[in-house]
Structure 1
Amino acid sequence: MVYVLGVNLPDRHLVKFALTQFYGVGHATAERICSRFQMHRTCKVGDLTPLQVTALASFLSSPKDSLSPPRYPTATPDFVPSTKPHQELIAEFRAARKQRALENKQPGFMLRARRDERVQPDGLKDLQIEAALRTAIRENIAHQKMIGSYVGRRHAMGLPVRGQNTQNNAKTARKLNRLERYH
């Protein structure tokens, strides 16, 4: 058994399913976390190294402060590795880059803007789990109640909020009408 941030992760569970035991982590987020730490699909919690467990715990405790994972370029399906020496490949790459720069003749800020469009922001930086998420939800509900919105009033009365049916709609309507008279 591995304990991460007070949550028990059983050894026999797959990591992508064990991570869903954290409040606020669903299947899609768990998949993204696994890919961030390069854990394969069939990796079980018991197979994790102590370094991976530590990295996972430090990320989940403060995602905003964690470093972004390195971005490795991917090869196209028709890629064939070269047999040339490394120094020769570097010289060819620099010459090709210089040639492209001469052909483009665009200001540096334009090239930076185009590059920044391609780089996707790290979506896991804004991840909130456990106590932080519960606090945020509680604050949002308190805000709804404070401003007197319809949703806030339904929260205050303990009624369904998202359009679910209540057992006795007439009684609910009377409660809401009574509340309307006082406000």
Structure 2
Amino acid sequence: MVYVLGVNLPDRHLIKFALTQFYGIGHATSERICARFQMHRTARVRDLSPLQVTALASFLSAPKDSLSPPRYPTAPPDFVPATKTHQELAAEFRAARTLREEENKKPEFMLRRRRDERILPDLLKELKIESELRQEMRDNIAHQKMIGSYVGRRHAMHLPVRGQNTQNNARTARKLNKVARYA
């Protein structure tokens, strides 16, 4: 058994399914986390090294403060390695470096515009789990109650909120009408 942030991850489970034990992590988010830490999709919790467990725990405790993984370019399926000499490759590298240096001399607003097009946002930076997510949900429900919305009133009376059926719909309707008259 591995305990990460107070959540028990069973040894026999696959990592991508064990991570869903955390409140707020679903299957898609779990797969993103596994990809970030380079965990194979068929790896089990018992296969994790202590270093991976520590890295996972530190990431889940503070996703905003974690470093984004390096982004390496991938080759297209039809890629064929070049048969250039070392000198030719070095010359191309130097030319690309001087081009980058020239680009960095452009005004900041131009660089920012081009940088935003190239870099995709890291979706895991905004991850909220366990108590942080529960607190946000409580705040949202309290806000609904405070403004007196229909959803807030149903929360206050411990009734279904999203259109689920209750035992006696007529009794529920009378309760809501009574509350609406006095509100």
- Using the size of structure 2 for normalisation, the TM-score is 0.89
| Residues in 1 aligned to 2:19 and 2:99: alpha-carbon distance in whole angstroms | 48
Give unmatched runs, 5+ long, in structure 2. Answer: none
Deviation at 1:179, TM superposition (A): 0.4
Following the alignment from structure 2 to structure 1, what is the Cα–Cα distance between the partners of residues 166 and 130?
29
Cα deviation digits, residues 70-120 of structure 1 (max 9, x gap): 111111112223354556413213325657999x9xx55435413321211
Mark the CA change 1:20 to 1:99 in structure 2 (over 3 Å): closer, same or farther.
Answer: closer
What is the identity, as a one-letter code, of the residue corresponding to 2:12?
A: R
Taking the aligned partners of 2:26 and 2:76, their CA distance within structure 1 comes to: 31
Cα deviations by residue, 1:119-139 (Å, 9 ceiling, x for unpaired) = 111111111111111111111
Counting only pairs closer than 5 Å after superposition, residues 11-160 of structure 1 correspond to structure 2 as: 11-84=11-84, 86=86, 88-95=88-95, 109-110=109-110, 112-160=112-160
Aligned mates of 1:26, 1:87 — CA distance in 2? 50
Corresponding position of 1:4:
4
User: Equivalents in 2 of 1:49, 1:97: separation in Å?
Assistant: 39
Whole-angstrom CA distance in 2 between matches of 1:22 and 1:86: 50
- Runs (4 or more) in structure 1 with deviation over 6 Å come to 99-102
User: In structure 2, how many angstroms separate the alpha carbons of the residues matched to 1:138 and 1:34?
Assistant: 29
Q: Secondary structure at the match of 1:163?
A: coil
CA distance in structure 1 between the aligned counterparts of 2:81 and 2:41, rounded to whole angstroms? 28
Question: 162-171 or 109-118: which moved more?
Answer: 109-118
User: Cα 1:157–1:99, aligned 2, differ >3 Å: closer, same or farther?
Assistant: closer
Q: Secondary structure at the match of 1:58?
A: helix
Q: CA RMSD in A?
A: 2.3
**Counterpart position of 2:166:** 166
TM-score normalised by the chain length of structure 1: 0.89
Identity of counterpart residues, as a percentage? 79
C-alpha change, 1:49 and 1:86, in structure 2 (3 Å) is farther
Query: How many Å separate the matches in 1 of 2:127 and 2:24?
Result: 8
Q: Which amino acid aligns with 1:26?
A: G
Q: Residue 117 of structure 1: SS of its match in structure 2?
A: helix
Distance in structure 1 (CA, Å) of the matches to 2:100 and 2:64: 36
CA distance in 1, matches of 2:93, 2:139: 54
The amino acid of 1:181's aligned partner reads: R
